[in-house]
Amino acid sequence: MIILMWRILMSRVFRSNYRVYYEDTDAGGVVYNANYLKFAERARTEVLRSLNISQDELMRKEGTMFVVRRIEIDFKKPAKLDDLISVETIMGEFKGASTVWQQNLFFEKINLCSIKVQLVIVNRNLKPIRVPELLKSSLCG
């Protein structure tokens, strides 16, 4: 059942919008490269929130959390101060304890960068575990 749900969700694109502030840029007014990862992280959190999944609750009740195992990023165009960027996130299905999500950042339909992130669910001891019940019930409920 959970695999079927992940396949359904995989076809959905989640969108979040963020304004580029001065603190996000370098001296030239261009978004500093590490800050693209911050925008992507915020968007992943918003995807989970939209599915009524609280990362805090996962940690408190299930003793589990999402951690990043691997990130691939392909920079195409720079974002600049005051740009309103859109982050599109496509969730991948879980295979054991991990999943790969694709994220694309846009400004006015121009692809700024593409990010492929592998997430792993771990317990309090940082050991990979299968999808916890709270997460399953949130996705299937």
Residue 83 annotated as catalytic: no
- The side-by-side arrangement of strands in the sheet containing 14-19 is 14-19, 84-90, 98-107, 110-123, 64-75
Nearest to 94 by CA among 61, 70, 130: 130
Structure tokens at 64: 């589990």
- In order of 34, 42, 89, the CA distances from 16 in angstroms are 18, 8, 8
**Candidate list 24, 26, 74, 83, residue with the active-site label:** 26
SS (H, E, C) 55-99: HHHHHHHHCEEEEEEEEEEEECCCCECCCEEEEEEECCCCECCEE
The residues annotated as belonging to the active site are 26
